[in-house]
């Protein structure tokens, strides 16, 4: 009886909670429970079953003895014919024996039922044990479901479960219906599966309920997400043969990982060991992060260029990149570059000396030092440059320092915010591509600028490269555009706008006017106006500034008699408020002529302006020093860029730096 009693006693302990070596060594669940106690539990079930079988055999023996007693009772009945008193006594004894026989038979039936139940339980436990032992010690299933072969992130259906990949071991999410196969809610069970504070929440196992060869196992690593009618569970590390078909009966089990324990106290510092022997010199490591230096327009000659960085380099390091703009002449043959006076180094393309024409006049170049020469890596004549991508951006995004050197593809109409040039460092490169149909606005941080402006824009299909000067400005290379255009809502009815509202034409025979969308902000700005079409003689086009009080209607212009306007006509007449000065500048009435306008609004109470024609300042003006302005505006009016035209005259406003034909005076930037 001691063996049976011990087995019965242990069976009571297997279901008292998760396994713990110290407090619950007989626990069947939890980490280590199945591995430690599953086989002993099956042994105890077998012990109880064997004892029940022995009881059944004994009960059958009792039944046979009862039958013998019944036969003896019959003999006693025959003898009772001779002795009535004895017969009565025997009949009484026979009745008692029959009662004992019935009781024994009932005990036999109960013992047989117990034996069959124990045997069934032992068989079921053995089947599950075999099923999970065959799959590397899996967890005991806790939820019964049916398999769904779909992979979409959706409710798999009542009582069903699916993965998000047809390649089941590559799945990263499990979608489980909120009901089990019997229609009972299992949300409370599922929601506990990610309760652990460990990064890995536990081990999840899916097993076929009738075929032990089909199973899968995953690690649960994320939270359980309510998908409305189903739960989404993040999994990883899939393993197992799988093999489930549509509607196959499966069981899903989960073994929870323990919580992260409290950090123990730091141990005492060990004694300092002796200094070891000097090891061998290791291999040369890879080249560190590439540093790019922007040098502005190159000096020297077409075949012997010079460049100055803001860092004042004393030597060149393999991998360094310099960016520069070629001057007015292209190279005619082999060329060299001398950076910060270090000494001329050959400029090469794909390792070969230049032959002439590779350094295009006015182009922007990037060259990388390979330890002996500068190799063309970007710009005219260099071929394509490849950048890793950050991934498509479709909404407002702030560029991080980690994005430097990566292409940022954009689509839509929104603002791309730049990091501080100081944090990015001198030479940091950010390529941006607008592959959509909207406009991407580039917005520097704080008071920093892009090409000297507070903001620039990239039109659909435009690509730019931004290079940090490490101080206050991003130099922008590529097809940028200003946000400022001519305003379709502030023009005469006869004025026709085109070219993204940057070109204006008046086919009528009477004057009309148009102004810019944005007013002139505080600062120093430069803008150009190009005469595109001229069908009349001089005196039929005007360009300059107009206050907000000037009506933008047909019949109006920017000439004499028009208060609060300041302009230069194509005949060379200067108009300043209501005054005029004929012959003040050369005429610019031929197609292709460019009028430049420098505007200084740093003092709004005394705004100054200077005109130039084809890059040459007029009237002895000097915007760099602030002397001899064409006009001075007082009264702090709100000003707009404006043009007046008549008789098929057409002009184009050039506000973006990359559209300028001439270089402005120092300190002047493009309009925002």
Domain final residue, candidates 237, 256, 275:
256
Task: Give the range with max mean pLDDT: 191-200, 270-279, 562-571.
Answer: 562-571
What average pLDDT does the segment 69-95 reach? Answer: 43
CB 322 within 8 A of CB 342: no
- Structural domain contains residue 385: no
User: Does 279 reside within a domain?
Assistant: no
**pLDDT the model gives residue 375:** 85
pLDDT at 332: 94
Q: Do 499 and 564 belong together in one domain? A: yes
**Ranked by mean pLDDT, which of 14-28, 346-360, 362-376 comes out on top?**
346-360
26 burial (CB, 10 Å; 0-12 / 13-18 / 19+) is buried
445 vs 461, higher pLDDT = 445
- Both 374 and 523 in one domain: the answer is no
276 lies in a domain?
no
Q: Please report the pLDDT score of residue 178 as a whole number.
A: 94
DSSP for residue 401 = G
Give the separation between CA 29 and CA 455, rounded to whole angstroms: 63
Q: Supply the pLDDT for residue 6.
A: 80
pLDDT of residue 123: 43
Same domain, 566 and 648: yes
Domain assignment present for 392: no
Q: What is the mean pLDDT of residues 33-39?
A: 72
pLDDT tens-digit readout, 629-639: 999 999 999 99
Q: Which two tokens stand for residue 58?
A: 């004994």
Closest CA to 652 of 502, 544, 515, 537: 502
Please say if the pLDDT value at position 489 is more than 50: yes
Residue 283 lies in a domain: no
Residue that finishes a domain, picked among 105, 133, 161:
133
Mean pLDDT of 495-518: 92
What does the DSSP assignment read for 322-373?
Answer: EEEE--SS---S-EEEEETTS-EEEEEETTEE--SSSS-TT-EEEEEE-SSS
pLDDT (average), residues 653-659: 80
Under the banding of pLDDT at 50, 70 and 90, the label for residue 556 is: very high
Return the C-alpha torsion angle 15, 20, 22, 23, nearest 10. Answer: -40
Token readout for 102 is 């019935």
Under 8 Å between Cβ of 445 and 634:
no
Domain assignment of residue 105, given as a range = 2-133
More confident residue, 92 or 8: 8
Question: Both tokens of residue 158?
Answer: 């009542």
Q: What is the pLDDT of residue 379?
A: 53
Q: Are 103 and 153 contained in the same domain?
A: no
Question: Do 129 and 26 share a structural domain?
Answer: yes
Of the pLDDT bands very low, low, confident and very high (cuts 50, 70, 90), residue 363 is confident
Higher per-residue confidence, 477 vs 331: 331
**pLDDT at residue 155 in the model:** 96
User: How confident is the model at residue 448, as a pLDDT?
Assistant: 87
Q: Are strands 440-443 and 463-468 parallel, antiparallel or unpaired?
A: unpaired
Residue 289 contacts residue 405 (beta carbons within 8 Å): no
Query: Are the beta carbons of 344 and 372 closer than 8 angstroms?
Result: no
Does residue 138 register a pLDDT over 80?
no
Q: Which residues 6+ apart lie within 8 Å of 137 measured at CB?
A: 34, 35
Whether 372 and 413 share a structural domain:
no
Backbone angles phi, psi at 467, to 5 degrees: -125, 125
Instruction: Please check whether residues 90 and 173 belong to one and the same domain.
Output: no
Q: How many domains does the chain have?
A: 5
**What percent of the chain shows pLDDT beyond 70?**
79
For residues 264-274, average pLDDT: 83
Q: Given a cut of 50, is residue 509 above it in pLDDT?
A: yes
Q: Please say if the pLDDT value at position 287 is more than 50.
A: no
Dihedral of alpha carbons 282, 287, 289, 294, sign: positive
pLDDT at 481: 59
And the tokens for 631? 């006009």
Contact indicator for 533, 591 with CB cutoff of 8 Å: yes
Examine residue 286 and state whether it is found in any structural domain, yes or no. no
Q: Which of 26-30, 100-104, 414-418, 655-659 has the highest mean pLDDT?
A: 414-418
Confidence of residue 129 (pLDDT cuts 50, 70, 90): very low
Binned at pLDDT 50, 70 and 90, residue 55 comes out as low
- 453 found inside a domain: yes
Identify whether residues 219 and 204 lie together within a single domain.
yes
Residue 268 lies in a domain: no
Q: What is the CATH number of the domain that holds 453?
A: 2.60.120
For 466-505, b where at least 16 C-beta lie within 10 A, e where not — what string? Answer: bbbbbeebbbbbeebbbbbbbbeebbbebbebeeebbbbb
Q: Are residues 216 and 191 in the same domain?
A: yes
Please tell me the pTM assigned to this model: 0.39
Q: Which of 219-223, 363-367, 481-485, 606-610 has the lowest mean pLDDT?
A: 481-485
Residues 152 and 128 in one domain: no
Is the pLDDT assigned to residue 609 strictly greater than 60?
A: yes
- Same domain for 9 and 106, yes or no, is yes
Q: Quick check: helix, strand or coil at residue 491?
A: strand
What is residue 520's three-state secondary structure? coil
Are residues 80 and 165 located together in one domain of the fold? no
C-alpha 56/C-alpha 114 separation (Å) is 9
- Mean pLDDT within 131-156: 70
Q: Quote the Cα angle for 422-427-430, to 5°.
A: 90
Last residue of a domain, one of 462, 481, 500: 481
Mean pLDDT of the chain: 81
Give yes or no for residue 307 having a pLDDT over 80: yes
Give dist(CA 206, CA 600) in Å, integer: 74
Determine which of 138-142, 236-240, 363-367 has the lowest per-residue pLDDT on average. 138-142
Confidence band for 271, pLDDT divided at 50, 70 and 90: confident
């Amino acid at each position: 009886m001691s063996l049976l009693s011990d087995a019965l006693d242990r069976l009571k302990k297997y279901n008292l909670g998760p396994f713990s070596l110290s407090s619950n060594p007989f626990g069947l669940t939890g980490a280590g429970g199945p591995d430690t106690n599953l086989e002993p539990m099956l042994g105890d079930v077998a012990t109880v079953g064997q004892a029940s079988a022995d009881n059944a055999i004994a009960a059958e023996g009792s039944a046979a003895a009862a039958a013998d007693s019944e036969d003896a009772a019959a003999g006693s009945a025959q003898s009772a014919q001779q002795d009535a008193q004895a017969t009565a006594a025997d009949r009484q004894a026979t009745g008692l024996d029959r009662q004992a026989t019935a009781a024994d038979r009932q005990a036999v039936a109960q013992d047989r039922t117990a034996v069959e139940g124990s045997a069934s339980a032992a068989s079921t436990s053995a089947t599950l044990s075999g099923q999970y032992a065959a799959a590397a010690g899996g967890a005991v299933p806790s939820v019964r479901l049916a398999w769904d072969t779909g992979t979409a992130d959706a409710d798999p259906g009542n009582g069903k479960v699916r993965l998000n990949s047809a390649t089941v071991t590559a799945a990263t999410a499990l979608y489980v219906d909120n009901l089990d196969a019997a229609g009972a809610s299992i949300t409370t069970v599922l929601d506990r599966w990610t309760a652990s504070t460990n990064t890995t929440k536990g081990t999840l196992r899916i097993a076929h309920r009738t075929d032990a060869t089909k199973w899968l196992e995953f690690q649960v690593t994320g939270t359980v997400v309510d998908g409305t009618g189903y739960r989404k569970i993040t999994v990883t590390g899939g393993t197992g043969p799988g093999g489930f078909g549509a509607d196959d009966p499966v069981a899903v089990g989960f073994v929870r990982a323990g919580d992260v324990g409290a950090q123990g106290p730091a141990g005492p510092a060990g004694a300092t060991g002796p200094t070891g022997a000097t090891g061998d010199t290791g291999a040369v490591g890879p080249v560190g992060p590439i540093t790019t230096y922007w040098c502005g327009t190159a000096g020297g000659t077409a075949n012997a260029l010079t460049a100055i960085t803001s860092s004042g380099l004393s030597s060149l390091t393999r991998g360094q990149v310099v960016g520069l703009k070629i001057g007015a002449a292209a190279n005619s043959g082999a060329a060299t570059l001398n950076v910060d006076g270090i000494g001329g180094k050959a400029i090469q393309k794909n390792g070969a000396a230049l032959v002439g024409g590779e350094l295009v006049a006015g182009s922007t170049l990037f060259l990388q030092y390979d330890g002996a020469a500068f190799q063309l890596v970007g710009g005219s004549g260099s071929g394509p440059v490849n950048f890793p991508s950050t991934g498509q951006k479709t909404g407002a995004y702030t560029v991080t320092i980690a994005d430097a050197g990566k292409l940022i593809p954009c689509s839509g109409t929104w603002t791309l915010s730049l990091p501080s040039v100081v944090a990015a460092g001198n030479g940091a490169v950010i390529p941006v591509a607008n592959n959509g149909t909207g406009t991407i606005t580039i917005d520097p941080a704080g008071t920093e600028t892009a090409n000297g402006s507070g903001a620039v824009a990239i039109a659909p299909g435009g690509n730019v490269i931004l290079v940090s000067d490490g101080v206050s400005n991003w130099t922008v290379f590529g097809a940028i555009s200003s946000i400022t255009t001519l305003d379709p809502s502030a023009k005469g009815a006869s004025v026709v706008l085109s070219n993204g509202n940057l070109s204006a034409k008046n086919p009528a025979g009477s004057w009309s006017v148009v102004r810019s969308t944005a007013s002139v902000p505080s600062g120093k700005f430069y803008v150009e106006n190009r005469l595109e079409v001229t069908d009349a003689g001089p005196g039929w086009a005007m360009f300059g500034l107009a206050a907000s009080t000037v009506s933008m209607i047909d019949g109006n212009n920017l000439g004499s008699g028009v208060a609060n306007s300041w302009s230069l006509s194509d005949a060379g007449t200067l108009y300043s408020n209501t005054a005029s000065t004929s012959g003040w500048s050369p005429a610019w009435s031929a197609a292709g002529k460019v009028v430049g306008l420098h505007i200084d609004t740093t003092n709004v109470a005394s705004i100054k302006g200077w005109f130039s024609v084809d890059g040459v300042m007029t009237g002895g003006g000097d915007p760099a020093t602030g002397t001899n302005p064409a006009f001075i505006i007082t009264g702090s009016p709100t000003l707009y860029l404006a043009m007046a035209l008549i008789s098929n005259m057409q002009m184009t406003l050039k506000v973006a730096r990359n559209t300028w034909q001439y270089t402005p005076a120092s300190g002047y930037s493009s309009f925002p």
